Amino acid sequence: MKKIVLLFAVFASLQVTAQQQYWQQQVNYSIDVKLNVNDKSIKAFEQIEYINQSPDTLTFIWFHLWPNAYKNEKTALYAQYKEGDKEGAKKFKQSDKGYIDSLDFKVNNIAVTVEADKKNIDIVKIILPQPLLPGGKINISTPFYVKFPTYFSRSGFIDDAFAVCQWYPKPAVYDRKGWHPMPYLNMGEYYSEFGSFTVNITVPSNYVVASTGALQNADELQALKASSSINKTKTENFTAYTPLSNTAFKTLQYKAENVHDFAWFTDNDFVVQYDTLALPSGKVIDAFTFFSNKANSEWSKSVNHVEDAVRHYSNWIGEYPYPVVNAVEGPGNVSSGGMEYPMVTLITSPEANTETLDAVITHEVGHNWFYGILGSNEREHAWMDEGLNSFFQFRYEAEKYRSNSIFGSALPAELKQRGPSEFLAIIYNAMNEIPMKDAIETPSEEFKNKDEYGIVIYLKTAIWAFLLEQELGRPVFDKAIHSYYDQWKFRHPYPEDFKLVLESVSNRSLDDLFLRLKEKGKLL
């Protein structure tokens, strides 16, 4: 017994030491951007405070210029479509192309050398005029111009509506495993540094903006809330937002803390829904949804879905830390689903019924936890984001509806009479019958096609998490998830960090279960 106590004492000591050695960079942004609706473009100026919190001296910084991924058929984005998504490759060829240019990088107001990446036109290296010592900070600035593509792979325009994503020059992550410059891909998402954003967005006055961050313009915020009140009891024939003035343009300021990305969406016919959401701690946040007047009438319930998602995830994982949460109806001519960014998510499910729309909104809002707050490397370990989030989405659907979005109406009516735990066990056994070739712990770009990526990263990981929950028991599992959240929020956890927390809380080795992340084929 004494040996066991001693072992756990040593284990706890090692965990504290590991936490003390952890570091991450800090990147604070200030961006002024103006939308040109006619030209389908933006002009902007960016200033970045880059703080080197690593123990290393830096002589360069890798940057992502992801709008260039849409520029031509020589990009990694197109190559991925060509390799594993023929329909996507066809759409890429047919789309208006996008790009970023007019860059003029300076560091502390000194012009710098910019080296192009040899393989990818959406990655560059900024050579620093002076070495950046540990604990030092620099100011990086540049103007830039972005020409939007036709809406495609999360970003672009459809008519006069804009999804402004992957739009600004962004430093790659430098962490304990080195630099992580990566080309933009559709199948395989992001890894970015945490920091703060102050973004001034200039748009035509009749446009509504849904964005990462809290809106600082009190008059505009009040106008959005007032617009919402008009539609509070409607299920169709909604009233669109009315602009505050007849001026040509307005400038809206948004601020965000402890985020690693910033996206915004804007259109001239958005309907607004708004409500406040009180969390158990007493914290009150603003919940907004934005949708077209032509939207599926199910969107009349959308703000309730957002609030339910935040309540459940706050209870299961940890309290939502931001002041606002938004969901935006996306264009209906793209594949069903959604795309998440901190505090704001795009939902593209035009034919959804109540249960389906709720599930999609919950999944995307849930990414505020798995991706937004727990900022893992999605390109290398996509399961830590998509798969864990899917596990909690399936729990949400089971508890609220006795439904599952993977099987939809194919579920027998008798199954809905089961309790949520029994229901989920049956669902996971049914999921396990879907062919699953690759291992969960497979880098995103190594999947041969989007179908295998989706099945393995979303479903197979959810099955693995279910096995983990069965092994630990739900009370211990939930306690461990809360501990994981508390220890790693606003940080960059790797699989070994997740495992260490689970083992610490459960007081048991999980080597065998974590080895199964590298196992091909079915898990059950």
> What share of the chain in percent tops pLDDT 70?
95
Helix axes 461-472, 386-401, angle to 10 degrees: 70
Whole-number pLDDT of residue 332: 63
Q: Is residue 267 part of a domain?
A: yes
Do both 357 and 246 map to the same domain?
yes
Examine the pLDDT at 292 and tell me if it is beyond 50: yes
User: Can you give the CATH number for the domain in which 189 is found?
Assistant: 2.60.40
Q: Is residue 496 part of a domain?
A: yes
281-308 burial: b if 16+ Cβ within 10 Å, else e: eeeebbbbbbbbeebbebbbbbbebbbb
Query: Does pLDDT of 7 surpass 60?
Result: no
**Range(s) of the domain holding residue 118:** 23-151+166-193
| pLDDT exceeds cutoff 50 at 402 | yes
* Coil vs helix vs strand at 34: strand
Q: Is the pLDDT of residue 436 over 60?
A: yes
Task: Find all residues with CB under 8 Å of 236, minimum gap 6, and list them.
Answer: 297, 300
Q: Are residues 277 and 310 in the same domain?
A: yes
Question: 18 Cβ partners below 8 Å, 6+ apart?
Answer: 500
Q: Do 347 and 433 share a domain, yes or no?
A: no
Query: From residue 157, how far is each of 161, 250, 328, 487 by CA, in Å?
Result: 6, 20, 14, 39
What confidence tens digit (pLDDT) does each residue in 177-190 have? 999 999 999 988 99
Note whether 483 and 509 are same-domain residues: yes
Position 9 scores a pLDDT of: 41
pLDDT greater than 60 at residue 38: yes
pLDDT band of 20, cuts 50, 70, 90: low
Instruction: Give the per-residue pLDDT at 12.
Output: 43
Assigned domain for 9 exists: no
Quick one: pLDDT at residue 18?
46
What count of other Cβ atoms lies within 10 Å of the Cβ of residue 420? 14
Give the end of a domain, one of 193, 210, 244.
193
CATH value at residue 247: 3.30.2010.30
Residue 395 sits in the same domain as residue 446: yes
| Binding site as annotated, residues | 363, 367, 386
The mean pLDDT value for 459-470 works out to 98
Number of domains comprising the chain: 3
Residue 10 lies in a domain: no
Domain boundary among 371, 401, 419: 371
Gap between the Cα atoms of 508 and 502, Å rounded: 8
pLDDT score of 88: 87
Together in a domain, 289 and 405: no
Is 38 contained in some domain? yes
| Strand pairing category for 324-329 and 344-348 | parallel
How far out from the chain centre does Cα 365 lie?
9
pLDDT of residue 377: 97
Binding-site annotation: residue ranges for Zn(2+): 363, 367, 386
Looking at the structure, do residues 366 and 475 belong to the same domain, yes or no?
no
Q: Are residues 205 and 338 in the same domain?
A: yes
Residue 485 inside a domain? The answer is yes
The model scores a pTM over 0.85: yes
Tell me: do 181 and 209 sit in the same domain. no
Catalytic residues: 364, 458
Instruction: Give yes or no for a contact between 194 and 258, defined as CB atoms under 8 angstroms apart.
Output: yes
Q: Are residues 44 and 142 in the same domain?
A: yes
Mean pLDDT of 135-163: 95
Please write the tens of the pLDDT for every residue from 317-361.
999 999 999 999 987 655 557 899 999 999 988 778 999 999 999
Residue 246 lies in a domain: yes
Q: Is 283 found in the same domain as 187?
A: no
- Do 359 and 410 have their domain in common? no
Is 476 within a domain? yes
